[in-house]
């Protein structure tokens, strides 16, 4: 027998009533969710994530999911005898790696997420940046963090040139839940692997989203002592990057979040995807959760 106290019907009704102001506030608004980390690989967390997405849709909020898939790409590359290589948090993507990225992200991972949401009672539709000419990209010029005059060649890694979110808006209007793989196309129809955090931030900006929620494998942004920083400004982020507190794969995540905040996304949150229903805690309660990024 579990020692956890059972909620009475009155307790449950009280919890639901507390969510009402937030449901009213966010009804009809768009929220972009970057889905990654443990939330994508743990079956219980996968199920909780899909249920949360469907619940948000049912109460009148428009969720748009942008997913990563780094561990799945790494597994596929290892099966082919290829070793993944990263520079400043960006995966170096040659032509063969790009093929793997496309079938893992746009096929396997995307369809798993679509299936989970549909199984939970939603109507999800998978997209890549090619669909509806959504994400036009160019080759990323990755400047060295120590020497800005130096550039790293990271292959078919893309920088977003333009986003046309009309296909996403059309799906939302028809009660579908878009699930976006971070793959763009160039002027010669070449494919580009784009950091999922960057795509989520750019989509949130173009959709004028109410919130951008970025699920991670940590509680949020931590200081050097491992303490959670609940709120960060642009100046604080610059200082944390300079002293190495923010490094590696967290750099593009924070940069994208800050850019979205500067461009008008009302709230950008980095939250712990290892906590079941962490999205609902952030969206439908007054519980401060994770790290909020501010433009000023």
Between CA 247 and CA 273 the distance in angstroms is 19
DSSP codes of every residue in 103-157: HIIIIIIHHHHHHHHHHTT--EEEEETTGGG-EEEEE--EE-SS-TT-EE--BSB
Strands 158-163 and 90-91: unpaired
- Comparing CA positions, the residue from 70, 130, 129, 133 lying closest to residue 104 is 70
Assigned token pair, 198: 């960057």
Between CA 61 and CA 35 the distance in angstroms is 17
Strand partners, 67: 35
Residue 70 annotated in ligand binding: yes
Say which residues have a Cβ less than 8 Å from residue 241's Cβ, sequence separation at least 6. 247, 251, 254
DSSP codes of every residue in 159-187: EEEEE-THHHHHHHHTT-EEEEE-EEE-T
Residue 79 annotated in ligand binding: no
Between CA 89 and CA 68 the distance in angstroms is 13
Residue 226 annotated in ligand binding: no
Strand partners, 256: none
Look-up of token digits 């790494």: 74
Residue 141 annotated in ligand binding: no
Annotated binding site: 69-70, 91, 193
Annotated binding site for substrate: 69-70, 91, 193
């Amino acid at each position: 027998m579990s020692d956890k106290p059972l909620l009475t019907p009155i307790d449950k009704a009280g919890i639901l009533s507390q969510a009402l102001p937030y449901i009213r506030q966010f009804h009809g608004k768009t929220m972009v969710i970057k889905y990654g980390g443990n939330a994508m690989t743990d079956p219980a967390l996968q199920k909780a994530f899909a249920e949360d997405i469907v619940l948000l849709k049912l109460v009148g909020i428009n969720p748009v999911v942008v997913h990563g898939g780094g561990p799945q790409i790494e597994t596929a590359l290892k099966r082919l005898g290829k070793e993944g290589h990263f520079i400043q948090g960006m995966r170096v993507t040659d032509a063969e790696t790009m093929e793997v990225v496309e079938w893992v992200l746009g096929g396997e991972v995307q369809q798993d997420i679509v299936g989970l949401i549909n199984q939970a009672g939603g109507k999800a539709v998978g997209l890549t940046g090619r669909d509806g000419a959504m994400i036009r990209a160019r080759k990323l010029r990755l400047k060295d963090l120590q020497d800005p005059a130096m550039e790293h060649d990271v292959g078919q890694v893309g920088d977003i040139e333009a986003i046309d979110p009309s296909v996403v808006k059309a799906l939302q209007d028809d009660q579908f839940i878009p699930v976006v793989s971070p793959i763009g196309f160039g002027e010669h129809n070449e494919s580009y692997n784009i950091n999922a955090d960057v795509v989520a931030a750019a989509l949130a900006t173009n959709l004028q989203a109410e919130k951008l929620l970025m699920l991670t494998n940590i509680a949020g942004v931590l200081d050097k002592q491992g303490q959670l920083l609940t709120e960060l400004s642009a100046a604080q982020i610059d200082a944390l990057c300079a002293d190495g507190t923010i490094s590696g794969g967290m750099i593009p995540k924070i940069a994208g979040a800050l850019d979205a905040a500067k461009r008008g996304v009302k709230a950008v949150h980095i939250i712990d995807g290892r906590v079941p229903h962490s999205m609902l805690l952030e969206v439908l309660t007054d519980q401060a959760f994770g790290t909020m990024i501010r433009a000023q």
